[in-house]
């Protein structure tokens, strides 16, 4: 029962399923997309696709069902639903009247091209432009990407030094990560907090999805952009590509990518661009705990984790990145700051302040419903776990139980009272009356609480009108 927007990072398949069939079919026209979609399929589905790739005729469903053993029926069914959901295959009537399956022809052709070669080349290599005098190597590309992404995050946290383009701040507002009062600078929302505490890969993916959703309103072609994105994900790190033959909207998209740090281009008018590691890992999408890639864990530090939490509620963050320090300061009180370490204390006030920021940023719907900040605390613990210093990773569990329990208790303090608006019905004349009304309310789904012994029910205000009418009708009959 969350009123607050719960950040949902859909993975690639879920996103694709939501697109309309025509768009999907146009998307599959590009070999890069087909390969990217294929890559994300579960292994059994990949097997099926491979088997049917070179068949030009439909295969009876019975034959397909024979490919799995009896006890793997569930996997088979799951496969079938995945493949149909993505419109990778559809049923067709065979000559004998049986139902058969055949791969989507567009998808089939393009996957063949992707696997065997041929067709148009996906992106012009930069060779036609000659060697680049200002060539960048992988390290500087990584650094650039991190820098740019951090500027975006800094802007969200509210550092005055971070400045981003109008477009980007518009996008953040539309994505619900920030909001703006009339004329004021944008400030962060509780969804924005959750976003900040995620790991980089998830952040990027969520952000890209938001961007794609707004692409239509900008007048950009979704299919073009998506295909370009998939193309990027197959490019080689450290290699430059030329912008020849890219349409206007693609060029605009490229500029936006440049701002997020997904590609590097020396100047706006440069004719070559370098994809960065962020772009390449992007369409690997969001897997459940993807933090093992070199970029995955934390920007701003070379190694994996940098926070040590002690059982006396002290927190030591071995970093000098402004962003990480700002994030830590969101939920703890900073005590000392040294060149390479920040010492902070996790206190009740600081943790509850973090909720308060979440609450005031959220619109109240109705007067009376309490927001459950459980997710925000879950996020704090997730943040601490994913940025834990290697020393801490040796302990099991990673975070001291005292700390995790205490943070949860501080959270639960706010939830001691739970309110629900309602209408109380009591003093029924008879048990039968009570039961009739109670069953009606339950049937309508608006029964909030009941006490059979005292014949009392509480109905939600929305249901009250209907229940009252029902009651009047009952009484007028008897």
Partner 1 sequence: MRLSCSDIGFGDWCLESNIIMVNVLKGVLVECDPAMKQFLLYLDETTALGKKFIIQDLDDTHVFILAEVVHILQERVGELMDQNSFPITQK
List the structure tokens of 325.
């320090």
DSSP 224-255: HHHHHHHHHHTSPTT--EE-TT--HHHHHHHH
- 109 is an interface residue for partner 1 by CB under 8 A: no
Q: Is the Cβ of residue 387 or residue 455 nearer to partner 1 in the bound state?
A: 455
For residues 151 and 252, give the distance between their C-alpha atoms in angstroms, rounded to a whole number: 20
Query: Whole-number minimum distance, CB 363 to partner 1, in Å?
Result: 16
Gyration radius (Cα) of the chain, Å: 28
Give, for 355, the enclosing helix (H) or strand (E). helix 348-360
- 461 is an interface residue for partner 1 by CB under 8 A: yes
Query: Whole-number minimum distance, CB 424 to partner 1, in Å?
Result: 4
Query: Whole-number minimum distance, CB 365 to partner 1, in Å?
Result: 14
Q: Is the Cβ of residue 31 or residue 422 nearer to partner 1 in the bound state?
A: 422
- 50 is an interface residue for partner 1 by CB under 8 A: no
Query: Whole-number minimum distance, CB 33 to partner 1, in Å?
Result: 51
Residues with Cβ within 8 Å of 43's Cβ and at least 6 positions away in sequence, in order, are: none
Applying the rule CB under 8 A, the residues between 389 and 448 that interact with partner 1 are 413, 416-429, 433, 437, 448
- 449 is an interface residue for partner 1 by CB under 8 A: yes
Query: Whole-number minimum distance, CB 301 to partner 1, in Å?
Result: 26
DSSP 93-118: E-TTS-EEEEE-HHHHHHHHHHHH--
Q: Are 244 and 128 in contact (CB under 8 A)?
A: yes
- 456 is an interface residue for partner 1 by CB under 8 A: yes
Residue 89 forms beta bridges with which residues? 103
Applying the rule CB under 8 A, the residues between 361 and 380 that interact with partner 1 are 367-368
Site string for partner 1, 112-151 (x = CB under 8 A): ----------------------------------------
* Contact window for partner 1 (CB under 8 A) among 38-46, 199-207, 299-307, 455-463: 455-463
Three-state secondary structure call for residue 337: strand
> Which residue from 111, 171, 175, 458 is in contact with partner 1, where contact means CB under 8 A?
458
Site string for partner 1, 210-249 (x = CB under 8 A): ----------------------------------------
Query: Whole-number minimum distance, CB 337 to partner 1, in Å?
Result: 14
* Contact window for partner 1 (CB under 8 A) among 188-196, 205-213, 251-259, 341-349: 341-349
Applying the rule CB under 8 A, the residues between 253 and 312 that interact with partner 1 are 312
> Which residue from 50, 251, 335, 393 is in contact with partner 1, where contact means CB under 8 A?
335
Phi, psi of 247 (to 5 degrees): -75, 175
Query: Whole-number minimum distance, CB 254 to partner 1, in Å?
Result: 50
Query: Whole-number minimum distance, CB 2 to partner 1, in Å?
Result: 18
- 451 is an interface residue for partner 1 by CB under 8 A: yes
Give, for 272, the enclosing helix (H) or strand (E). strand 272-275
How far apart are the two ends of the chain, measured CA to CA in Å?
40
For residues 385 and 110, give the distance between their C-alpha atoms in angstroms, rounded to a whole number: 42
Interface size with partner 1, residues (CB under 8 A): 36
For residues 170 and 218, give the distance between their C-alpha atoms in angstroms, rounded to a whole number: 12
Residue with tokens 């959270």: 411
- 81 is an interface residue for partner 1 by CB under 8 A: no
- Alpha-carbon torsion (105, 106, 110, 111), positive or negative: negative
For residues 229 and 133, give the distance between their C-alpha atoms in angstroms, rounded to a whole number: 26
For residues 243 and 128, give the distance between their C-alpha atoms in angstroms, rounded to a whole number: 11
CA 213 from chain centre, in angstroms, equals 13
Query: Applying CB under 8 A, which residues contact partner 1?
Result: 312-313, 335, 345, 347-348, 367-368, 413, 416-429, 433, 437, 448-449, 451, 454-456, 458, 461, 468, 471, 475
């Amino acid at each position: 029962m969350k009123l607050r927007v719960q950040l949902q990072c859909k993975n690639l398949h879920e996103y694709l399923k939501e697109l309309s069939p025509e768009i999907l079919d146009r998307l599959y026209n590009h070999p890069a997309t087909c390969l990217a979609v294929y890559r994300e399929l579960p292994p059994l589905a990949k097997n099926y696709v491979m088997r049917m790739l070179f068949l030009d005729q439909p295969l009876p469903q019975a034959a397909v069902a024979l490919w799995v053993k009896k006890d793997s029926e569930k996997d088979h069914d799951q496969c079938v639903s995945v493949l149909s959901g993505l419109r990778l295959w559809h049923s067709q009537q065979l000559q004998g009247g049986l139902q058969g399956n055949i791969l989507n022809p567009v998808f089939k052709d393009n996957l063949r091209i992707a696997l065997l070669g041929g067709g148009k080349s996906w992106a012009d290599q930069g060779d036609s432009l000659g060697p680049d005098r200002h060539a960048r190597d992988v390290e500087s590309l990584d650094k650039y990407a991190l820098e740019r992404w951090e500027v975006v995050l800094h802007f969200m946290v509210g550092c005055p030094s971070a400045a981003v383009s109008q477009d980007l701040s518009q996008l953040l507002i539309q994505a619900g990560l920030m909001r703006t009062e009339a004329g004021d600078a944008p400030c962060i929302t509780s969804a924005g907090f959750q976003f900040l505490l995620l790991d980089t890969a998830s952040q990027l993916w969520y952000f890209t999805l938001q961007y794609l959703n707004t692409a239509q309103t900008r007048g950009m072609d979704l299919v073009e952009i998506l295909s370009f994105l998939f193309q990027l994900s197959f490019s080689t790190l450290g290699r430059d590509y030329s912008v020849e033959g890219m349409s206007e909207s693609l060029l605009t998209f490229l500029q936006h990518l440049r701002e997020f740090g997904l590609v590097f281009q020396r100047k706006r008018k440069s004719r070559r661009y370098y994809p960065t590691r962020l772009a390449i890992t992007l369409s690997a999408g969001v897997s459940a705990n993807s933090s093992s890639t070199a970029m995955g864990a934390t920007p701003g530090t070379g190694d994996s984790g940098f926070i040590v939490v002690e059982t006396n509620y002290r927190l030591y963050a071995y970093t000098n990145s402004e962003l990480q320090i700002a994030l830590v300061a969101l939920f703890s009180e900073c005590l000392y700051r040294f060149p390479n370490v920040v010492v902070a204390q996790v206190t009740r006030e600081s943790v509850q302040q973090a909720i308060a920021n979440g609450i005031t940023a959220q619109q109240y719907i109705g007067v009376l419903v309490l927001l459950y900040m459980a997710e925000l605390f879950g996020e704090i613990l997730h943040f601490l776990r994913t940025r834990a210093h290697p020393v801490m990773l040796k302990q099991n569990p990673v975070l001291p139980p005292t700390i995790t329990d205490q943070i949860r208790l501080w959270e639960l303090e706010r939830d001691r009272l739970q309110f629900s608006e309602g209408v109380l019905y009591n003093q029924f004349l008879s048990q039968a009356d009570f039961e009739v009304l109670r069953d009606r309310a339950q049937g309508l789904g608006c029964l909030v609480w009941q006490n059979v012994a005292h014949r009392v029910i509480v109905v939600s205000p929305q249901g009250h009108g209907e229940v009252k009418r029902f009651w009047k009708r009952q009484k007028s009959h008897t």
